Structure 1
């Protein structure tokens, strides 16, 4: 699906640097650069990059808030799991 898009052109239309796209997508700069040059990367990473670019193209940078909110919620869920595990370990001690 994602192979039909020119990721570099799309990123440039969104006025994003590689660093900014990396921050928004959670993908590293090397993976984004490889995707833009048509190198083989995982389909999941390619779709994640494309998803962020298409969302920004449609909604503008206000979508940045949605992306960060989603990432923050995911981080909170992970922290809750860690807290739960640590509480269990402490009770065993």
Structure 2
């Protein structure tokens, strides 16, 4: 739902859905979903909040991807960090 809201420009609603999804993913110990949602929150935070919050989500996403063993995604996020 967060992705759909983002696509149509309802960014605040998207953020609410992503945060709810993150809660559910944590409760289910679904690290892959947590990482994807955290990455989405980077984008939303850049749009509606702040660079500082975006960087916080980016770092959390990197930790999650590193725990998953996805170093490619970690490197991509590092490149994104340098652009922020």
Q: Normalized against structure 2, the TM-score is what?
A: 0.31
Answer with 1 or 2: which has the greater Rg.
1
Greater length-normalized contact order (CA 8 Å, ≥ 6 residues apart) = 1
